[in-house]
Amino acid sequence: MHFPFDEEITLENTVALLRPLRETDDENLAKVATSDQDLLQFSPSPIYNPELLNKYINKAIEDRHNRLRYAFIVFDKTKNAYAGSTSFLNISNADDRLEIGATWYGKEFQRTGLNRNCKYLLLEYAFDRLDAERVEFKTDERNLASRQAIEKIGGQFEGLLRRHTLMHDGFRRNTVCYSILKSEWKELRKRFLDYKR
């Protein structure tokens, strides 16, 4: 696998458009990021004010330059609005694997089908373009909504990493791990966008 960090990757279908996150995107994301202080309550990186959002975006861009993460801004075509962000991260070319994560959407974009469309685009790119062997997902053990969303798209539970991630408030979270394998994707993709919200 060879992840093209230097390319401007754009992924889209009739519902969602994902393009690389840019320094100027704090303007596009400010409203959705700062409208709810608890939006990223289970994330190590809060974004509920302009300074935190700017720090989040700059870190994501720095991580791309360092070939650690490739962050996207998410545009919801049905609402004609920027909805949030998602990323490829923990990329291991030698092992033909990567993680989809650091995903967040404003409340009005949740449970609308946007996330499933974004995951479809990301999984399609990972498996069909990059020829990845596996895609991983990790989330806070307490984040039941995220766990259910991962399971609904076919993520297989793999285990719990105890006291795995230090949160911004000093709490050490347990991290739940899931994955989808290339062999599983062939079946999953057939019905992936046939769903009930």
Structure confidence by residue, pLDDT tens digits, 156-187: 999 999 988 787 777 798 899 999 999 999 99
pLDDT of 195 > 70? The answer is no
Is 164 contained in some domain?
yes
Q: Which letter does DSSP use for residue 23 in this model?
A: G
Structural domain includes residue 60? yes
Q: Tell me, yes or no, whether 2 lies in a domain.
A: no
What average pLDDT does the segment 109-127 reach? 96
Q: What percent of the chain has pLDDT over 70?
A: 94
Per-residue pLDDT band at 46 (split at 50, 70, 90):
confident
Q: Is the pLDDT of residue 40 over 60?
A: no
CATH number where 157 lies:
3.40.630.30
Distance CA 2, CA 132 (A): 9
The number of distinct structural domains making up the chain is 1
DSSP structural state of residue 89: E
Domain around 75: 11-191
pTM: 0.92
Q: How far apart are CA 150 and CA 138, in angstroms?
A: 9
User: What is the spatial distance between Cα 64 and Cα 70, in angstroms, rounded to a whole number?
Assistant: 5
Whether 84 maps to a domain, the answer reads: yes
Specify if 166 maps to a domain: yes
- In this prediction, residues 131-146 reach a mean pLDDT of 93
Classify residue 197: in a domain, yes or no.
no
Whether 6 maps to a domain, the answer reads: no
Q: Domain for residue 145, yes or no?
A: yes
CA distance 138 to 126: 16
pLDDT at 37 over 60: yes
What local confidence, expressed as pLDDT, does residue 44 receive? Answer: 62
Tens digit of each residue's pLDDT (9 = 90 or more) over 57-81: 999 999 999 999 999 999 999 999 9
